[in-house]
Amino acid sequence: MARLYVFLFLAQVVLAVLALISCLSAEEGDIRALPRIAWVLVILFFPLVGSIAWFIAGRASTTGRTEAGRPAGSGLIGRKPRPVAPDDDPEFLRSVEERSRNQADQELFRRWEEDLRRREDDLRRRDGEQKRPEV
């Protein structure tokens, strides 16, 4: 019987820790019913009931989320969601691609100019050798 109590106590502690982490990491628009500090106090003073209440009533449901991960009715209509990392930002990826294209084009032009100079030098040398009378 003592093992059961220890197990239930540990389950309650784990649930309270998970609820605190969830509450503290939730964005302001995702918290319902009470302010964040009130939810933290409820979870700390009433670990079992507070944790269950947080998961049921405190955080916004995840079913009505948009593809950006925000709740559908969170007031972000017309606002472009910010990408999390640079490789998620289409504008950044376009600029990187454009920069690499420009660098590749510049390298190609540089090689063409070198080749053109080399050919012009070869032609000048040949013309100079042909025009010189041999003695």
pLDDT per residue as tens digits for the range 58-92: 887 665 555 445 555 555 555 666 667 777 788 88
- Find, among 27, 26, 17, the residue nearest to 50 by Cα: 17
Q: Say which residue, 75 or 1, is predicted with more confidence.
A: 1
Total-model pTM: 0.47
- Check whether 132 has a pLDDT greater than 80: no
CB atoms within 10 A of CB 73: 11
Report the b/e string of 92-105 with b at 16+ CB within 10 A.
eeeeeeeeeeeeee
Mean pLDDT value of segment 106-127? 92
Helix (H, G, I), strand (E, B) or coil at 34: coil
